[in-house]
Structure 1
Amino acid sequence: MMLYLMDIWDSVRGFMAAGGDVLWLVAAVLFVMWVLMLERYWYLNWISPNEHKAIISSWDAREDSTSWYAHRIRESWISQAKQNLNARMLFIKTLVAICPMIGLLGTVTGMISVFDVMAVHGTSNARMMAAGISMATMPTMAGMVAALSGVFFSTRLDAKMKISLEKLKDSMRHH
């Protein structure tokens, strides 16, 4: 088992070395993005149902649910629940949007490396240019894969949050 983990670590290190320093930045952004998305899934599945039950029980305990003031209180509680649900979603979506841009930064730095090799050694040394080309393509690929995973899961998360909020609204009857 330990040997297997060492092989995986060596593969990751080789991939990161071939992709250059920008690949570490892509990995850091991806890590932060996934930590935030997992936190939002945790909040959505374990914390918000209890908060919504408390809001619904507070609403049901009110004697007045028909006046103008009662409607404003209901809207305020729903708005607070919406804010709690959408917390950090803008930051997650920003990180998703940044991933391809960081990958393109890797493309630029890799091509600069290729041009540097061409200036020093000429165009005849394809082996030395290959390292720069690898540094140009791997961060782009990694940034796109990171963005795609983020788009898919943040969209699902957003949809689940909207459904949760609608269920809360439907549970708070008003006349």
Structure 2
Amino acid sequence: MEEVRLFVERGGEVVYPIMLVIFLLWFYLFERIFYIFFIHPARRAQAIAEWTSRSERRSWHARQIHQDLVCALDFGLQSGFSTVRMLIVICPLLGLLGTVTGMIEVFDVMVQFGGGSPKPMAAGISKAILSTVAGMVGAISGLLAQYILLKVVDKEKQRCHTSLSFD
């Protein structure tokens, strides 16, 4: 825990919003995981039961009901990923903001003490690098998790479409 505190302290003020965005990102990712593995199977079973209990499945009306069932399942699986994508994009941008603010601090130190003393510049360089790392770690971990979840969603959508096929 001490390492995290030091990381945040050395990374500067921009690390706090990065941490907030990463928290929100993983909150949404865990919500999607919960939905896909715990809520969606019951909804899929309910949709399949509703479709198979129909005696007539060939009319225009039946096809509309079928399309509504499939779309509702697809929407449930896809929902929330636009927010995840947005949060993934924000992470490196906040890291870049931290880089810029850290470099501004380096230039301020250079103006005050001159370019010959690297020790006072180290704090600004540390802020620049650590905030960039924090933003990139958030983005990369989010991208990986999103990729895996979208693969699971694609397989589940295929499963739903074959389960709800016409006779």
Distance 1:92 1:143 in 2: 15
TM-score normalized by the length of structure 1? 0.92
Matched, 1:57 2:57: no
Instruction: Tell me how large the CA RMSD over aligned residues is.
Output: 1.0
The percent identity for this pair of structures is 35
Q: Aligned pairs, how many?
A: 167
- After TM superposition, the structure 1 = structure 2 runs for residues 1-175 of structure 1, keeping only pairs within 5 Å, are 9-175=1-167
Unaligned runs of 5+ in 1: 1-8
CA contact under 8 A between 2:70 and 2:164: conserved in structure 1? Answer: no
* Displacement of 1:124: 2.3
Separation of aligned partners in 2, 1:33 and 1:66: 43
Residue 146 of structure 2 aligns with an amino acid whose one-letter code is: S
Question: Counterpart of 2:116 in 1: which secondary structure?
Answer: coil
- Give the alignment's TM-score, normalised by structure 2: 0.96
Q: Deviations over 1:134-162 (max 9, x none)?
A: 01111111111111111111011111112
Deviation at 1:125, TM superposition (A): 2.2
| Unpaired runs of at least 5, structure 2 | none
- Aligned counterparts of 2:164 and 2:16: Cα–Cα separation in 1: 47
* 1:4 equivalent in structure 2: none
